[in-house]
């Protein structure tokens, strides 16, 4: 019985993603998404949303397991806001399958989380709209 309980605790902890990241973004009520011109940090397209489902979905994607901080540039960034005040700036790379990740500051430290194929497809779809 104890083994079963321990197994359950380990599974819940492993499946819950990055709680520090989700905690930081959990109260967000608006979002600005910037897509860069390829190979630069010049903004090519900007989108904004207050759609709760889209913000929650992106928060879930960003709250994935931590990974190394890749040095392969970025395709854009996400600015999360709560009641008009900035909460977080999250940079992302989705165009290079071997380098997909999100990067943000958590308590003064850069934290990178792994971007899933589903998250990359979601961002790619937003970019083509």
91 φψ region: left (φ > 0), alpha (ψ -120 to 50), beta (else): beta
Strands (E), the chain: 30-36, 43-49, 66-67, 76-82, 85-93, 101-106, 109-114
Give the pLDDT of the chain (129 residues) as one tens digit per residue: 444 333 333 333 444 456 777 777 888 999 999 999 998 989 999 999 999 999 999 999 999 999 998 999 999 999 999 999 999 999 999 999 999 999 999 889 999 999 999 999 999 988 887
What is the pTM (predicted TM-score) of this model?
0.82
Structural domains of the chain ordered from first start = 18-128 (2.60.40)
Q: Would you state the structure tokens that stand for residue 34, as one six-digit string?
A: 């910037």
């Amino acid at each position: 019985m104890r083994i079963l309980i321990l197994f359950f605790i380990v599974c819940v902890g492993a499946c819950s993603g990055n709680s520090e990241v989700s905690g930081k973004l959990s109260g967000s009520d608006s979002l600005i998404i910037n897509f860069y011109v390829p190979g630069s940090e010049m903004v090519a397209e900007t989108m904004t949303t207050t759609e709760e489902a889209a913000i929650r979905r992106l928060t879930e994607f960003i709250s994935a397991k931590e990974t190394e901080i890749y040095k392969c540039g970025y395709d854009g960034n996400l600015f999360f806001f709560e009641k008009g005040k900035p909460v977080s700036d999250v940079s992302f790379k989705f165009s290079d399958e071997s380098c997909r990740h999100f990067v943000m500051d958590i308590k003064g430290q850069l934290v990178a989380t792994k971007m899933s194929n589903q998250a990359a497809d979601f961002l790619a779809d937003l970019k083509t709209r």
